[in-house]
Amino acid sequence: MSSATGVRDVAGSRADVWRAVAVLRPYCPTCDVSYVVTGSGRGSTFVAVPGRLDGPPPDGAPRGEIVEWVPKRLVATRLELTQETWTTRIELADAPDGGTRVTMTVTHEPRAGRLLRRLQGRAARDLVRRTVESELDKIPAHLADPAD
């Protein structure tokens, strides 16, 4: 298992950042991903599909669950793929400059055998670290995205 954490202070209220990064909209133009969400809050499930979805999600599309949900403070999701599980935890707090401090932790857990996990270890750690930085870098674009 590989895990990385990053912190970024962004302009915007906690409520605005929450709406931009924690609430799954039907389509996210920043990420070019469509979501089909069932339920609300903790225990909700979702399907994530690359691109804009026209119709029901295809069989085998990645499925996820919201595993933690404290509005305007914390959301954690678990996304199950065929060979791996990705967990993303986003914590929001007031930043000293009046903006919002975003702390993001991404964990990648391959389902491969121990030998393969060991061989992939460094590459997986680098991928997880780059994923955290990339997702934090997207926050301003998420804040600028118009609502669907």
Is 88:103 a contact under the CB 8 Å cutoff?
no
Q: What is the pLDDT of residue 77?
A: 96
The residues facing 140 across adjacent strands are: none
Instruction: Give the residue among 24, 110, 14, 30 at the shortest CA–CA distance from 65.
Output: 24
Residue 148 DSSP code? -
Tens-level pLDDT at each residue, the chain (148 residues): 889 999 999 999 999 999 999 988 899 999 999 999 999 899 999 999 999 998 899 988 999 999 999 999 999 999 998 888 999 999 999 999 899 999 999 999 887 666 555 556 678 889 899 999 999 999 999 999 876 4
Q: Which two tokens stand for residue 127?
A: 């991928």
Q: What is the pLDDT of residue 140?
A: 95
